[in-house]
């Protein structure tokens, strides 16, 4: 069952053109199915009020539709968020008589510069998403698997159920997975993909998994279930941060910011800030309120929710 995870940002409820609304909280999922091929789409339903809502959506997509309806501060913030999370695969959907040459100067130097401009034609766009979903995924690692959780709940007669995406490798029924950033373990009792039962799920699949050996309170959003030995928790991070060209506040000791990786959105206090010769780069030491789960080389987004009109700082490579 091929699946494509799509972030749809820039214009709320545009995803209703492509699928049916499912889970709805501060982020809203839409699902679509054509034959055996599925689309899992996510919109930031509480943005711009909650910057975290935009972060979750931008981080979710293996492909992004950036819908441009007006050129305002929120267009700029969405652009910078996509760049911060490294969302390189996507398309610009231009509406309201906005042409590509209107946005070219803004997207230059960002990941969005590589996006393909598309007409605002929902029927055509839906077909294109299914075509992308049906492309071969390539080799999948069978030795381990990692699921990133976005929602969890109890189901009567079943127990603890988590919803998320397989971000790497494969998971199998009866696998024993570690829970990060916690210290527990959970057994996969069953796997569903778009309400159908399967014994295995692989990279890119959106899954609902029934779990044994873990309680609901142990599965907040951002929890990582994995048997990948390269996964680790870090609570003090020292790394070079790349600030976006529009950022004007020099990070300072004691500054409280936000750091995001996958579906994790953590508070971090700057305990050290060392300038470099490049004014857009700075060596930061961050002390997090709780451990961040990641692999070496992952890109984390840096945000400052108290930043007023500019709340996306930039990014850093995790050690």
Pick the last residue of a domain from 193, 211, 226. Answer: 226
Of 205, 226, 247, at which residue does a domain stop?
226
Q: Which residues form the domain of 279?
A: 232-317
17 and 118 fall within a common domain: yes
Question: What tokens appear for 139 in the block?
Answer: 């080799």
d(CA 146, CA 160): 18
pTM: 0.95
Whole-angstrom distance, CA of residue 128 vs CA of residue 70: 24
- Looking at the chain, the whole-number percentage of residues with pLDDT higher than 70 is 100
Quote the number of domains for the chain. Answer: 3
Of 102, 133, 164, the one marking the end of a domain is 133
CA–CA–CA angle 120, 58, 116 (5° rounding): 40
* pLDDT tens digit at each of 319 positions of the chain: 799 999 999 999 999 999 999 999 999 999 999 999 999 999 999 999 999 999 999 999 999 999 999 999 999 999 999 999 999 999 999 999 999 999 999 999 999 999 999 999 999 999 999 999 999 877 777 789 999 999 999 998 888 999 999 999 999 999 999 999 988 999 999 999 998 999 999 999 999 999 999 999 999 999 999 999 999 999 999 999 999 999 999 999 999 999 999 999 999 999 999 999 999 999 999 999 999 999 999 999 999 999 888 999 999 999 9
Residues 283 and 174 in one domain: no
């Amino acid at each position: 069952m091929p699946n494509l995870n799509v972030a749809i940002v820039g214009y709320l409820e545009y995803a209703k053109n492509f699928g049916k609304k499912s889970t709805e909280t501060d982020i809203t999922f839409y699902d679509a199915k054509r034959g055996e091929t599925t689309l899992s789409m996510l919109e930031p339903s509480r943005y711009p009020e909650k910057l975290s809502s935009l972060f979750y959506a931008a981080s979710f997509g293996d492909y992004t539709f950036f819908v441009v309806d007006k050129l305002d501060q929120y267009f700029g913030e969405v652009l910078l968020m996509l760049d911060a999370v490294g969302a390189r695969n996507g398309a610009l959907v231009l509406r309201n008589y906005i042409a590509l040459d209107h946005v070219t100067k803004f997207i230059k130097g960002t990941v969005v510069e590589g996006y393909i401009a598309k007409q605002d034609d929902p029927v055509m766009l839906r077909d294109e998403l299914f075509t992308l979903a049906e492309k071969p995924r390539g080799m999948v690692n069978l030795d381990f698997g990692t699921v990133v959780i976005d929602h969890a709940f109890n189901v009567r007669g079943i127990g603890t159920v988590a919803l998320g995406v397989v971000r790497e490798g494969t998971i199998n029924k009866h696998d024993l997975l570690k829970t990060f950033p916690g210290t527990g373990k959970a057994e996969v009792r069953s796997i569903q993909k778009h309400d159908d039962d399967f014994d295995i799920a692989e990279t890119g699949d959106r899954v609902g998994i029934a779990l044994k050996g873990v309680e609901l309170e142990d599965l907040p959003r951002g929890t990582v279930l994995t048997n990948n030995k390269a996964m680790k928790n870090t609570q003090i991070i020292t790394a070079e941060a790349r600030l976006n060209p529009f950022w004007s506040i020099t990070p300072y000791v004691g500054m409280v910011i936000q750091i995001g990786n996958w579906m994790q959105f953590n508070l971090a206090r700057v305990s050290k800030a060392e300038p470099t010769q490049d004014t857009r780069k700075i060596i930061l030491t961050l002390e997090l309120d709780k451990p961040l789960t990641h692999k070496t080389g992952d890109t984390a987004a840096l945000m400052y929710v108290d930043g007023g009109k500019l709340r996306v700082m930039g990014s850093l490579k995790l050690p």
